[in-house]
């Protein structure tokens, strides 16, 4: 896989497929981590005299323009980070895109409007997707893939466009792949995986693979309650995927057979109602044993004994991969479990990887120094699919 160091970019129009899919509150960016992550690649191209055309998706618009999903705020923030003006095209391949990109001088940057405003970006039809890729290719001379959060999607700008232009991986993707290989091919042991998040169904495929590779798997977040149910415990009104209980029972049995420590919460914070994430009003949670959740209560975070247990399981690790919060970290009364796991990673001598998505957002929201971790991924879903052993279309497209 070539990198941008292998490309002659001076005076060339370089199409950078970035991941600017940042969370918005109206037009206010609430977490700019993904923009900051791709900025060094763009800055390097600027310094080498490229005319940089940045493109991305944001959210899930229905293949048509929708102001709620405009990339205009992301373009403005990118300009602030780069310290230079960034032009903005109000469409993807239309008159504005053609005019803005044609007007770029060497070292200048433009951002196209949300790629998913065009139905060709996400189409299942190869011809429709290819036609959109042809229009994008007409805007540029070279292609740089640097949106790791999108490489698991067979989309026009990710999969089809690299076939139409000389291409290379950006520094962000190159780093992500290098890190993920340390989690799959060259693992320093003990290898500890901490998994959280809402749905156990989102993690079953990666658990299936990790049971062959990890030494310990620690489970928290909403997905933990399906595993607790699989062990025969009542979980009250906690988040539960009843249809996944048999699969969880199978994985628990496999872990025991293979000698993999599969660690579930021993206590949890509970409440009769979900906390108000807007006002952050005090929730006054109670703490109960994980096998004694009251029928009218739901678990919303791992408890203090579990936090200590998980920290101990991470303390002697050689490698730690963490994906998914341990509770409703957006509310201060239920952020303690996620904070404890993050701190455990910092205290460990291990090579630590935070697997993007909500985990990365939690690190920033809770005030941790991002640079203190071994690596913070920008691709939650893409990272998991890589660990599942799947071929990622966007990476395959960048291979020569």
Residue owning tokens 């989690």? 183
Contact 269, 286 (CB under 8 A): yes
d(Cα 120, Cα 155) in Å, to the nearest integer? 8
* Strand blocks (E) in 142-242: 142-145, 167-169, 191-195, 216-219
Contact 116, 147 (CB under 8 A): no
d(Cα 266, Cα 264) in Å, to the nearest integer? 6
d(Cα 116, Cα 69) in Å, to the nearest integer? 9
Write the CA distances from 261 to 161, 209, 217, 218, 305, integer angstroms: 44, 15, 6, 8, 17
Token pair in block for residue 175? 């780093």
Phi, psi of 322 (to 5 degrees): -120, 125
Active-site residues, by number, are 34, 199, 357, 381
Residue owning tokens 């060259």? 186
Write the CA distances from 86 to 40, 51, 68, 72, 80, integer angstroms: 15, 11, 20, 10, 9
Measured at the alpha carbon of residue 25, what is the angle toward residues 20 and 29, in degrees to the nearest 5? 40
Quickly list DSSP for 107-147.
T-EEE---GGGSTTTT-S-HHHHHHHHHHHHTT-SEEEE--
């Amino acid at each position: 896989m070539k990198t941008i160091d292998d490309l002659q970019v001076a005076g060339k129009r370089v199409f950078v497929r970035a991941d600017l899919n940042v969370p918005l509150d109206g037009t206010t960016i609430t977490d700019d981590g993904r923009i900051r992550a791709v900025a060094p690649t763009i800055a390097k191209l600027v310094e080498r005299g490229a005319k940089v055309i940045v493109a991305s998706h944001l959210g899930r618009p229905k293949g048509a323009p929708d102001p709620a999903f405009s990339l205009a705020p992301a373009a403005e923030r990118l300009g602030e980070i780069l310290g230079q003006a960034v032009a903005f095209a109000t469409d993807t391949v239309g008159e504005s895109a053609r005019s803005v990109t044609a007007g770029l001088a060497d070292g200048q940057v433009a951002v196209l409007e949300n790629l998913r405003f065009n139905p060709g970006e996400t189409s299942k039809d190869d011809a429709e997707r290819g036609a959109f890729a042809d229009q994008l290719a007409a805007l540029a001379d070279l292609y740089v893939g640097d949106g790791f959060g999108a490489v698991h999607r067979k989309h026009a700008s990710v999969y089809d466009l690299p076939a139409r232009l000389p291409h290379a991986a950006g520094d962000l993707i190159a780093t992500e792949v290098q890190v993920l290989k340390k989690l799959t091919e060259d693992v320093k042991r003990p290898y500890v995986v901490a998994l959280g998040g809402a749905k156990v169904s989102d993690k079953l495929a990666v658990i299936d693979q990790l049971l062959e590779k990890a030494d310990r798997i620690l489970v928290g977040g909403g997905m933990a309650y399906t595993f607790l149910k699989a062990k025969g415990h009542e979980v009250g009104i906690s988040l539960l995927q009843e249809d996944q209980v048999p699969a969880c029972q199978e994985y628990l049995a496999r872990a025991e057979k293979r000698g993999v420590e599969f660690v579930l919460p021993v206590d949890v914070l509970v409440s009769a109602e979900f906390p108000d994430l807007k006002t952050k009003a005090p929730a006054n949670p109670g703490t109960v044993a994980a096998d004694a959740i009251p029928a009218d209560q739901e678990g919303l975070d791992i408890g203090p004994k579990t936090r200590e247990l998980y920290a101990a399981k991470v303390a002697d690790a050689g490698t730690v991969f963490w994906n998914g919060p341990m509770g409703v970290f957006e509310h201060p009364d239920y952020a303690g479990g996620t904070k404890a796991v993050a701190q455990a990673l910092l205290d460990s001598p291990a090579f630590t990887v935070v697997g993007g998505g909500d985990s990365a957002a939690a690190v920033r929201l809770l005030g941790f120094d991002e640079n203190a971790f071994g690596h913070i991924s920008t691709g939650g879903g893409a990272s998991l699919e890589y660990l599942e052993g799947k071929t990622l279309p966007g990476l395959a497209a960048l291979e020569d």
